[in-house]
Chains A and B, each alone.
Chain A
C-alpha cells in the first residue's frame, strides 16, 4: 500500500480523498493555488504545497508543477479527483513516466474513451446498443445530410472531443442542418482544438442513467448499481439518486452487464462510470464512459456500503477486488443535492464571496461532503460547487423527508446558494412520482403554478420577519459586545435586559 498520496484537486473532493487517506493511515499531500491558501483541503491535509497563481491553467491544470510537488514530497501516487486533470491522458502518462502511480485508468483507456467517435467504434464492434448515428467524423455536409436522412430527424450533432454541451446542436429538419453543422464545427474547434463532429439520433425527453463500475488490475470488473442523473441545468447535474425510480432488478442486471462489457472493451481499470440515455420505452443506449470518480459517487457508496475512494486506492496499489459481483447487494435509497454558490433570483448566476454564517445539517441518514467553512471566501476562479448534501434511508419517501428536514437546517449566509431550489424539487409531485427526464428541471422552473405556490408560501411569515427585524434592531442598539452577549443570554429566558448588567460589568473589567 502507498505511504503518501498527492491529491491534485481542491474543494469538497480534495477533502473527501484526504479523509480516505487518513482512514487508511496514508499521508496526504495537498496542492493549492494563491486563491486557496486558506481552503479547507489545505487545512486538513498532512502536507500542502503552493502551485502558483489562482487561474486554474497556472495551478490545478499545470502538469509540471504538480509532478514537481509529487517528486519533492515523495508521494507515490496521485489522486486526481474529478474535473481539472482527472480525464487527461497526457497527465496520467506524465505521472507514469515520473514513476508516480495515477489513481485511475491507464492512459490508453482514457484516450479511447476521451474521443467519442473512437469509443463508439469500439463499442459498436462489441455489439453493444448505441444511440443510432455515425461512429466517424462527418467528412462533408453531404455525408451529414445522408446520415441524417437515414437515421431520421431530429438529430443531434456532437463534437468528438466534446463535453459540457460545447459543439452540440439539436437539428429538427433538413434546412437547419447546414448552419448547425458549421456552428458546431467552429465551436468545437475553439473549445477543444478539434472540429470533428458526428451525428446521433436525438432521443426525445431521455433519462440520463449511469452505471458505476469498478475494475482491478487482475481482470475483475463489477458493476455497483445505477444512478439516476436526469435532473440537470445547462448540462450540469443538480440532484442524483440511486436506485433510479424506473430501473428494476432485470433492467439493472442488463445495464450492469453492458457497462462491464464497455469497461472490458477498453481494458478499463479502477473506478469508472458508463452513461446511458434511456428513452420513454426504457430502452437504453450507451452514451459515453467517464474515466474518473464522479461527483455523485456518494449515493452509490450509501446503498452498497462500499467506500469507492478507498477501493480506488487499493486497486491502484495492485490489490484484487475484495468481492465479486454476487457479493454486491443494494440496500435502501440515497439522494444527493449539489449545493452550488448560485443565485436562484438571478437565473442561477454564480455567486462567489465570503461566507459570513454557516449552519450545517445533521441527523439520521445525513451525510455532508463539504469544502467550505464559516469565514472562508469562496474564490471567483473555480466551479461553484460548495458541498454535497446526501441522505440515506430505507426507501425513497424516507430519504425525501430526511432531505427536506436537513435542508431546513442548512444555512449558508453572505453568499447566495441554491439550497431553496431543492425544497421545490423534493416537494414537486412529478419528482415524487419519479417522472423525470433531462428537461424536467427547466420545465419545473418555468411552471407558473409551481412558481405561484412558491411565492405564496414565501409570504406566510412576513409578520414573523417584522418582529424579528424589531428584535434585531433593539439588540443591535443595546448590545455592546455582540459575540459575548450571545453567550451570556444563551438559555436565559428574560431577554437581554437581565444580562445588561453582566455586559456592563464585563466591559468595566476589561478596562
Chain B
C-alpha cells in the first residue's frame, strides 16, 4: 500500500501546489519540498525495516506487492511491486527531487504553481515506472512523465527551448509507441499459447514464442529504452534537451529519466527475452563501447558547458549498456552502482552549471575562466565532481566503472579494452572543463558571489553521498543482490564457458 501512497502523494502534492500557486508564489515550493521529504522518510524507513531481510540474502527478491483490478476485460491490473533495485532507484528519485526543488528555489521567477506541478508529476511518472509490474501500467507511467517534462523544457527552458522540447518529446514518444506495439504483440502471443489474456509481468515471463517473433518484440522494447538511455545512434535529442532545460530539468533528465531506460532493459528486456538478448549482446556491447568513446570525444569538443556535461552522460551510459549485456554479477552490480553515482555526479555538475548560468548569464566556456579566485568553494566542489566523473578511486563512480569493466572483461576481452580507454578520455574532458571554467586568466567582470547557504547545503549532501558510495558501497550491493542473482540465473552457461577459455 505504501507504493500507492507514494504515487498518490506526488500527484496530490502536485495538484495542491498548482492550485495554491494561483494565489501565492512561495507556498508551492514549500508544499513540494514537504511532499518529497515525507516520501523519502517513508522510503528510507522502509529500507531500514527490510534491510535485515535483505542482508540475510534470502532468494525472494520482492519486498512488497500490491495488486488490484483496473481494466479486467483486458486483463490489466494496477500491479505495483518493488525489489531492491526499484527501492534504490525510488530513493534516488525522491532524493534528486528534493535537490531539484532546492536548486530551482531562485531560478524560477514565474508560474510557480504550474512549475512545481510539472516537477512532481514527472517524479510521479518516474516512480510509477520503477514500481509497475503490469506492462500496460508501465507504459502508462512511461508516457505520463513525458508531458510535464515537455512543459518543463518548453516553458522554463532557455532560448532554443521549443525546438529542444519538441525533439525530446517526439523521440521518446515515437520509440515509446513502438514499445507499446511490442507490449500488445506480447500480450496476444501469450494469449495464443496459454489462452489467458493478461498484461501482468509475472505471467508474461517465460512466454513461449518463435525466435523470429521474440527478436522483433525485443527490438520494440529495446528501441524505447535505447532512446531514453541513450544508446549511440539514438542520442541526438539528449544534448538539446539537457542544455535548454532549466537546471532542475537537466538534473531530472540526467539523474532519473536516463535511468528509466537502463531499468527497463534490466527489468523487461533481459527477463522477457533471454535467448534473443544473448544473441543480441555482442552488438549491444559494441554500441555501448562506441557510445563511451564517441560521447567522450564529443564532450571534449563542446564549447557549451551544459552540452559538454550532456555528452559525458552519453559516455557514462555506454558503460551501463556494456555492463548489462555482460550478464554477470560483477558487471550488473557495477551497473546499479553506475546508475546511482552517475545520477549524483552528473546531477552535481548540472546544478553547478545552473549556478554559473545564474551568475554569469552564459553557458559558453570561452566566456568563463579564472573563476576559482572569485568562488573557491565552488571550484573545490567542481574539482571533486570532475574527479568523480573521471573515476577517481574513493569516489562512487570508480567502484561502478571498475566493477563494470571487471565483469565485461570476463565476457568480452576485445570490447573491454577500448572501453577502458574511455576512462582516459573522460579524464581529458573533465580536466579541460575545470581548466576552462575555473583556471586560466581572470576576466574583468563584476564581482561574483560564491555559494549561498542553500547552495552549500545542496552540494554538501551530494558530496557526502558520492564519497559514501565510493567508500562503503556494501549496502547498495546487498540491496540489489537478489534481483541481480535472478538475472544471472537466466544466463547461466555462457560465461562459464568463456571463463574457462
Do the two chains bind?
no
Q: A residues touching B (Cβ–Cβ < 8 Å)?
A: none
